[in-house]
Chain A
Amino acid sequence: MEGVSTMVVLAAPITTGLTMVNAQTPRPVDNRDRRWGTWMVAAQTGNRTVYETLLRDCTPFIKTVARRQGVSPNYIDDVVQETLLTVHRARRTYDPNRSFSAWLRTIAQRRAIDGLRRQSRNGVWETHAPFAYENHPDPGRDPEEATNQVERTVRLDSAVSTLPASQREAVQHLALREQSLTEAAAVTGRTTGALKVNLHRALKTLRAQLGRQD
């Protein structure tokens, strides 16, 4: 049923109510204004489809108003969204005997002025500096740190190579390859107890060697 009523509203936008206007009030000025006015009346009764159509249809108009107010392109979307929210909040204040465009234009102008103020405030604190952004060093990516990491790896490899074969074997399987004691025992053919002892001795030796170098 809503679909049928929606089609009727969309297809026949002119209502007799629009002819009963006060001579001193801004009248609907053209077909688009009458159409929007009729859609807004339908929206006031809760017709969601017509309401969404109205809001979509209005967005170019709101953008035009915002541009004429001097809002920069970066802030146009903000103004449109703020205006749509205000239209939603203020929908009960629309009087079908008056022009919808004038009603919407005033809301858009006020929101555009808010946008200009925000733009001005941000302009005081923010600077558009793309080169500064590009040249800003990433603290997580220190080239010197990468070199140090390579050096530490070389020193560790060298220290591990000087260990006795049984200890080196324990370090390689348990520490470097991160195997479990059971896995390492299966691979090397040693008992888990022997592996633990060899790892303990190897770490003690490495700690002593690397500590001396530092």
Chain B
Amino acid sequence: MSHLLVRLPLLDLESFARATGLHPELVRRLVALGLFDAFRDATGDLCFPPSQLAAAGRFQRLHTQLAVNYASLGLVADLLDRIAELEAALRTRARTPGGVPWT
């Protein structure tokens, strides 16, 4: 678990598109599908937290390698996140650290 001590700058649409290798129009479409956590700045333009670069990488892999279509990507990503959370909870709860309780 890490905590940000400084606020990282948001990426504008052009920077985000360049960093992910996506066409800006496709980025807009993916935002409309609710795949990216995007914000509007004071001028109304889209901007993205840097964490969304990793999300874009995952969408890219799932789309190109498993042929998951854009509409399904959000559901697949949400389910994978939930599974990861449940697995992490299982790891900490399923067993008593240090062996069989002796009390």
Q: Do A and B bind each other?
A: no
B residues near A (Cβ < 8 Å) are: none
